[in-house]
A and B are shown apart, each in its own frame.
Chain A
Amino acid sequence: MNEPVIQIEGLHKTFRDFWLRPVAEAVRGIDLTVERGDVFGLLGPNGSGKSTTIKMLLGLLAATAGTIRLFGLSPRSRAARARIGYLPELSYLHPFLTARETICYYAGISSLGRREAKERTEELLSRVGLSGVADRAVGGFSKGMARRVALAAALVSRPELLILDEPTSGLDPIGTREVKDLIGALAKDGVTVLMTSHLLGDTEDVCTKIAILSRGRVAACGRTTDLLTRTQDARFTIEGLSEEEAKALADELSTRYGKPVAFDHPSVPLEKFFAEAVGAAHD
């Protein structure tokens, strides 16, 4: 069955005050479809309606108009909620609970049995690299560690749809890399991911599809590669070419095609360089 995981049609949300007068029109007619296995990025500036859309997807807000279907079900239905994992923008953890208790708590309210919850908790603690501090209260954790706990809590029920609101916020570059790798691994396992982020580089790295929201409307939507690739231009990378040889080649190509040819030297992404440098220092 090839039913979309998320189907949004004509979605509107107007916030009203106590007297039911409209205060803000946060979402003004969004249509989106997210297929199984997609890593879908929801982008947009502040106030563009991303968080409101996510809250409506989670059933925390009711739409003013339009429909949302998750796995063909209402977002408020228990069956739909059982298939979702959610990581909010801030971790919102209970400060008096330990990391282990926190994940166990979310496993419990996600209808996992006692034994399964315990096993899954240990597995996730190891996966997010917190096994060593599993019995420390999360109130004393750094933002990045708290983020990892929240991520583990979102994954605890083995969700088919993972909704991540700023998943890398507060994480160091290595943590960011690990989260991005984790998202990639989850997508390979067939998990659908919907994420928002202000870090466009991260989004570009992991998202197979993106939608850009602006003032409550979809400004652009499609496959990341389709949207970002300039098919009318071409770029070559030739290993071991000196500056003089590159200049000569550029002149030759320019003469042959009668078009300006530019060249530069590829650089390593800072994130990769940082990880290598820190790894070398640890060794």
Chain B
Amino acid sequence: MIESFLIAWRALLRGHVLTALLVLAGLAHAFLPFIVRSDGTDVGGREMFLRAVPGSVYSVLCVALLSCACGLLARERESNRLALAVVRPVSAFTVVLGKLLALVAVAAIVLAFNSALTCARGGWKGCVHVYEPVLEPPEIAARRAMEEMLKDTNTPQEVRSAPRHTLLTILTGREIDRYDTVPASHAIQWPFASEAANAATGLVARIRFSTQFNTRAEVSGAVTFGPWSSTVSNNTQSIIELPLLRTSSANAEGPLSPFVFSNKGTSSVMLRPRCDIQVLSPADSFAMNILRASCEMLFVIAFLCAFGLFLSSALSRPVAIFTALVMLLVSEMAPAVVAQYPDALDLSFTDRMGLALSRWITFATSAWSSPQPLSDLATGTCVEWKSLLRTFAVDALAGPLVFVSAAAFLVRRRATASHD
């Protein structure tokens, strides 16, 4: 495997791929901050920088290495060099794996360089753990609501005859956006993990308030969460980050602790429990967060490169590159299409087909496209170890293992480009 790694590494090095990517990363850090504009605030500036600069380096890296992966095996097969390798006592799996590792090594170097340049800019704040209410999954609540709706004799016939998955998608969306109303002088509570309540210092409640008529009405109230509490007085901000004070030394017991909001204002307050309430607790430094985010990016690139090598083992170089880039684009766009059109009831047949395809692609790619390292990094959210391990298992191990095995199978079958 080391020979296969070395040969692909030398190809990338002597083909100036690594140099070009490092130069591009350097140029992005030097010039992009002067081109992109933020909202003028410190927080907005940091977020915009992280999305634009390391984000563009990551995007270029994905596309460049995917294209390289698509070329590596196809070029060797087309020039019959692959046949020379596979007639030796070496398994095709190790040949393909060596090439994948070389691509991942290039990605690791560029991402490390990218992270170092980002950290060197300075002025970064540590990241936070983000906790959300522990609620029933929206799909389950939606399914229950659908069953009730179908039992109800007043439900219109066109809803009854609609496809179940369409109803489920619509009801799931509604469940996610469901508002809980807190009338004046009333309180409401949602369960949170006690782990959040038992944090040592610096808890912050992030709440997005709405009233029935607008999102900037005056809100007054009190928040208690385990041993923590705070008050909101005449706040007109849509989103507030409320520092909580520890008022008791006793820790919360049991797995869940209630987060209580008491409305002490004069009008009702509306809150979406799945979207509007979060508890933030300090995690660790920006450097550690960008390290974890870079690891997640690396794992996603490993997956993409393995996919590229798989295509490259079966298709010619230009066809493999074209197919890979189109699939990458479609897999990035499909979730947005699905989110935009949750309701397929009023669409024409061709639109329905397009939507069905988008849904299928979203479903098929959801396992590996779920990590959002850049988004987490930009919003100061901690890239959790749990998420990192999951991405490692899915994107860096399981996915590549499947693609490399499939590529190795095809390499042995298609090692010769021509016959007698």
B83 partner, pick from A60, A110, A111, beta carbons under 8 A: A60
B163 close to A (CB within 8 Å): no
With a cutoff of 8 Å between Cβ atoms, the chain B residues found around residue A109 in the complex are 3-4, 85, 88-90, 95
The size bracket of the interface on A is 35 or more
Stretch at the interface among B8-16, B331-339, B347-355: B8-16
A170 close to B (CB within 8 Å): no
Tell me, in angstroms, the Cα distance from A105 to B7 when the chains sit together.
8
B240 close to A (CB within 8 Å): no
Interface residues of B in 74-106 (CB under 8 A from A): 79-81, 83-91, 95
With a cutoff of 8 Å between Cβ atoms, the chain A residues found around residue B397 in the complex are none
- Cβ A108 vs Cβ B87 within 8 A: no
Q: Which A residue sits closest to B94, measured CB to CB?
A: A109
With a cutoff of 8 Å between Cβ atoms, the chain A residues found around residue B386 in the complex are none
Tell me, in angstroms, the Cα distance from A109 to B97 when the chains sit together.
13
Q: Which B residue sits closest to A154, measured CB to CB?
A: B84
A108-B2, A109-B88, A109-B90 as given contacts; A61 in contact with B7, CB under 8 Å:
no
**Residue count of chain B within 8 Å CB distance of chain A:** 26
Interface residues of A in 86-119 (CB under 8 A from B): 86, 88, 90, 92-94, 96-97, 101, 105-106, 108-111
Q: How far is the CB of B68 from chain A (nearest CB, A)?
A: 14
B6 close to A (CB within 8 Å): yes
A193 close to B (CB within 8 Å): no
A131 close to B (CB within 8 Å): no
- Cβ A108 vs Cβ B419 within 8 A: no
- Cβ B89 vs Cβ A110 within 8 A: yes
B238 close to A (CB within 8 Å): no
A50-B420, A51-B420, A94-B81 as given contacts; A59 in contact with B10, CB under 8 Å:
no
- Cβ A96 vs Cβ B84 within 8 A: no
Per-residue CB proximity of B103-118 to A under 8 Å, as 1/0?
Answer: 0000000000000000
A60-B87, A60-B415, A109-B4 as given contacts; A96 in contact with B11, CB under 8 Å:
yes
With a cutoff of 8 Å between Cβ atoms, the chain B residues found around residue A105 in the complex are 3, 6-7
Interface residues of B in 13-34 (CB under 8 A from A): 14-15
- Cβ B419 vs Cβ A52 within 8 A: yes
With a cutoff of 8 Å between Cβ atoms, the chain A residues found around residue B91 in the complex are 78
- Cβ A88 vs Cβ B80 within 8 A: yes
- Cβ B7 vs Cβ A94 within 8 A: yes
Q: Which A residue sits closest to B84, measured CB to CB?
A: A92
With a cutoff of 8 Å between Cβ atoms, the chain A residues found around residue B415 in the complex are 60
Taking Cβ atoms with an 8 Å cutoff, the residues of B that contact A are 2-4, 6-7, 10-11, 14-15, 79-81, 83-91, 95, 415-416, 419-420
